[in-house]
Structure 1
C-alpha cells in the first residue's frame, strides 16, 4: 500500500510540476508566440524541428498537440501545416525521457529553491514569476521522477505485481497493457520511466518492456481526444492525426519486432552499453526517430487520410459567431492573446466593410443593402461585447508586460470600432431619410460627400494597418489627413447653409447632409484613436 501511495503521489507531483512549468513557459512567451507560429509557414522540416524543441521544452506531447489543436481550431494554422509538427512532437517527447538518465538527487532541491525565491520575492516583475515557475516545474519533475523510481521499485516487489509482469512476455498482451498504461498515466515520460525502472529492477523483461512501450505511446495520445469534443472538424482532425501517427508507428515497430526481435533488441542494448533501463529510454527515442524519417516524405498523404477519416465540413456559421475565441476554443494563456487579436481583426474587417456599404446606400438606398448594414452592425455589437468580456478575463490572468499593454490597447480599439459601426448605421439611416422623403442632394453636394468619404475610408484603413503592424511611421500622415477632414467638414457645412439660403437645395436635404458629414468626421476621429493606440515595441 505504501508503495502504491508513493508511486501515485509522485505521479501527481510530476503532473503538477509539468503544469506549472508549462504555464511559466507560456507566460514568458506571451504574444511573441506569433513569431513562433510564423515558422510553420516555411516548410515541414522546420515545423518538425519546432515540434521537437517545443515538446522537449514543455515535456508534454499531449500539451503540444492540444496547443496545435487550439491553433487549428482557432484558424491560426492550417491542417496541412500540422503533420511535421506532430512527428516532431513524438520525437521531442522521447528526448525528454533522457532526463531519466540523470541523477536529480542534488539538482532538484536547488531548482525548487531558486524557483520558490523568484515566485515569492520577485515582486511585481512578471518575468521573474514566469522564470520561477519554469525552475520550480523542472525541480518538481526531477523530484517526482526520483519518487516514481522508488515507488515503482517497491511496487515491483509485490507478488501480485510480479505475477502480472511475468504474464506480459506475450507481445500482444504486453502491447495492450501498454495502451492501458498510457491511458492511465497520460504522460509518455511517466510511462517510460516506470517501464525503465521495472526493466532495470528485473521485474519486467526487456522484450516485454519494448512491446509495452509501443502500446504506451498510443495510450498516451488517446485522452487528448476528449479535448476535441465541441471543436471544429480540423481541430478534431489534429487530435486524431496524432493518435493515428502513433498507432501506425506502434504497428510498424510491432511487426518489425515480431520479425527480427533479437537483432533489434541487441542493437538497443549495445547502444546503451548493456544497461536495460537506459535501453528502454533510448529505444523509445530511436524508434520515434526512425518512424519520423519514414513519415516525413508523406505528410500530404497523412493529411488526406485524416480528412477522409474525419470527413465533411463544419456547418454553416451562425450570423453572430466568434471565430477564434469562446467556449469552443478553450482558454490558454499561450494562445489567448493571439486568438483575440484574430477576433479583433475580424471585427475590424467587418467594420470597414460596413462603413463602405453604408456610404454606398446614399446613392443606392436599396432595402437589401440597408438591411445588410443593419445586420452587420448588430454583429459588430455582438463582437464588441464578447471581445470586451474576453479581454477583461485576459487582464485578470497573468500576462507578460508587453501583452498586458497590448490588451489595454485592444480594449480601447474595439470600443472605437463599435462607435465607427454606430456612425455607419447613422449614415445608412440618413440614406433612408433621403429615400423615404424623396429628398435629393445636389450634384455638387454628392461630389463633395464622395471626396470626404474617400478620405475617411483611407484614414480607417491606414489606422488599422498602423495598429496591427505596430508601426507608427504613418501616424503623422494620418493626423494630417484627419485635419483636412475636419476642415472640409466645417467648409461643407458653411457651403450647404449658403445653398439653402440661396434656395439651391431644400432644408431637409441640408439637414441630412450635415448629419452625414458630421458622422464621417467622427469616424475619422475614431480612426485616429485606433492609430494612436498602436504600440511601438510589442
Structure 2
C-alpha cells in the first residue's frame, strides 16, 4: 500500500485475489487493517517541505490509523482467542473485504473522534514549535508553480510583518512614556521578527520574479519588496526609541514639562500616521493613504519646531546638553518613521487602480484644496499648547 500510495487500489488487489478462493478471513483482516496504515505514506510524503501544521496533519493521519489498527486488531485477536471464531478459516469474497474495510474506518472514527484533542497534542510532541521562526512555515516553495497564489501568500505574510512592526513602534512609545523592561524586550523581539520576515520575503519574492507572472503580479511583487524594507526600518527605529528611553532612565535625564508635552504631541502624530499607513496597505485603501501625506508634512514641521524649542530651552538653561542629544535622537527616529509611513502610503497609491504617481500625491496635490485642508486640520490637531 505504501508503494502504490492508495488503500483503495490495495483493497482492489486483495479483492481480485479473493476471487481465487484462497484468501481467508484470518489472512485478510490483518492485511486490510495494515492497508490503512500504508496509505498514510501519501500524506507523509506530501508533507515533506511544507509548514509545521501540514506535517502535523500527516502525523495525526498516521496516528489515527496506527492507533486504530492496534486497538481493533488487539480486540479482535483477544476475542478470537476466547470465542474461537469459526469463520476465520473460511474464504471471503469481494463484498466481505469491502465491508471489513468500511467497518474498520467507521469504528476507528467512533473511537478516536472524541480523542481528537489528544491526537493534536501528540502531533505537537512529534512536530514541536521552534523557538525561532521557520521560513518554511511562512512561505511554501511549491506555491511558486502558481505565481498568483504565491504573491497572495506573500501579501498575507507582509500583512503579518506590518502588524508586528506597528506593534513594535507602539510598544516603544509606551516604553518612552513609562519604562517597562518587558515591553522593551518585546520591541527587540518584534525587531528580530521583522528582520526574519524581510529576509524570507525578500528572497522568496526575488526567486518568484524569475517565473512568468502577469503584469498585476509583477507590480504587486515590486510593491511588496519596497514595503518590507520600510516595515523593517520602522521596527529598527522602534528599537532606537527604546534605547533612548533606556538612556533616559539609566542617566536619570529629566525633560521639562514643556518638552514632555511636545514629545507627547509628536508621538501621537507618529502613532496616527503609522496606523493610517498600515491600514491603507492592509485594506488597499487609497483614501487612507492620501491622509498620510499631509500628516507627514505636519510631523516634519513638528520636528523642526521641537528642535528650535529645545535650542531656546538650552539657551535659557532649562535643558541639559546631555538631554539634548537624546532629544535630537528621538526626533530623528520619529520623523524617519513618518517618512517610511509616507513611502508605504505611496506604494499603495502608485499600485492602486487609480495609478496616481508620487508627484501627484505629494507634489501637485500639495497645493490642492483637499491637501491643504487636511494639512491644516492635522496642524491644528497637533499644535503645541
Alpha-carbon contact 1:233-1:310 (below 8 Å) kept: no
* Residues 1:332 and 2:142 are matched in the alignment: yes
- Report if aligned partners of 1:230, 1:328 keep a CA contact under 8 Å in 2: no
Correspondence for 1:221: 40
Matched with 1:529 is: 343
Identify the match of residue 168 of structure 2 among 354, 361, 364.
354
What does 1:275-294 align with in structure 2 at a 5 Å threshold?
A: none
CA distance, structure 1, for counterparts of residue 268 and residue 155 of structure 2: 27
In terms of mean alpha carbon deviation, does 427-436 or 523-532 score higher? 427-436
2:116 to 291, 300, 303: 303
- Closer, same or farther: CA 327–482 of 1 in aligned 2, 3 Å: closer
CA gap of 1:206–1:185, structure 2 versus 1, over 3 A, is: farther
1:518 corresponds to which residue?
332
CA RMSD across the alignment: 4.8
User: What does 1:343-492 align with in structure 2 at a 5 Å threshold?
Assistant: 343-365=157-179, 370=184, 373-374=187-188, 376-399=190-213, 401-492=215-306
TM-score, normalised with respect to structure 2: 0.64
Contact 2:51-2:136 at 8 Å conserved across structures: no
1:34-73 equivalences under 5 Å are none
TM-score by length of 1: 0.48
Counterpart mapping for 1:42-121 below 5 A: none
Change (3 A) 1:455 1:308: closer
**Residue 276 of structure 2 contacts residue 291 of structure 2 at CA under 8 Å; is this kept in 1?**
no
Q: Displacement, 1:414?
A: 1.2
Unaligned runs of 5+ in 1: 1-181, 269-279
Q: 1:392 to 1:512 in 2, by over 3 A?
A: same
Equivalent-residue separation in structure 2 for 1:404 and 1:190 (angstroms):
43
Deviations 1:484-504 (A, max 9, x none): 222322332333333333443
Q: Deviations over 1:28-83 (max 9, x none)?
A: xxxxxxxxxxxxxxxxxxxxxxxxxxxxxxxxxxxxxxxxxxxxxxxxxxxxxxxx
Q: Is the 8 A contact 2:60 2:120 kept in 1?
A: no
Shift of 1:377: 3.0
Task: String of CA shifts for 1:299-339, please: whole Å, max 9, x gaps.
Answer: 95262352365464865642xx225x338975221675455
- SS of corresponding position for 1:352: helix
1:354 touches 1:424 (CA, 8 Å); kept in 2?
yes
Q: How many residues align?
A: 329
1:499 equivalenced with 2:313 (yes/no): yes
CA distance in 1, matches of 2:166, 2:37: 48
Q: Residues 182-193 of structure 1 correspond to what in structure 2 (within 5 A)? A: 182-187=1-6
> Is 2:133 the counterpart of 1:322?
yes
Distance 1:189 1:444 in 2: 78
Q: What SS is found at the alignment partner of 2:337?
A: helix
The 3-state SS of whatever aligns with 1:460 is helix
Partners of 1:487 and 1:435 lie apart in 2 by: 28
Name stretches of at least 5 consecutive residues in structure 2 with no aligned partner: 77-86, 354-385
Q: Residue 403 and residue 207 in structure 1: after superposition, are their counterparts in 2 closer, same or farther (change >3 A)?
A: farther
Summarize the Cα distance change of 1:307–1:434 in structure 2 as closer, same or farther, 3 Å threshold: closer
- 8 Å CA contact 1:456–1:520 kept in 2: the answer is yes
Deviation at 1:532, TM superposition (A): 3.2
1:6-45: CA deviation from partner (whole Å, max 9, x where unpaired): xxxxxxxxxxxxxxxxxxxxxxxxxxxxxxxxxxxxxxxx
8 Å contact kept, 2:169–2:238:
yes
| TM-fit CA distance, 1:526 | 0.9
Q: Could you give the per-residue CA deviations for residues 272-294 of structure 1, whole angstroms, max 9, x where no partner exists?
A: xxxxxxxx9xx89xx87x99999
The within-5 A match list for 1:18-37 is none
Deviations 1:244-287 (A, max 9, x none): 666769x99xx9xx89x999968x9xxxxxxxxxxx9xx89xx8
The residue aligned with 1:238 is 57
Distance 1:183 1:419, change over 3 A: same
Contact 2:168/2:190 (<8 A) preserved: yes
Match of 1:61 in 2: none
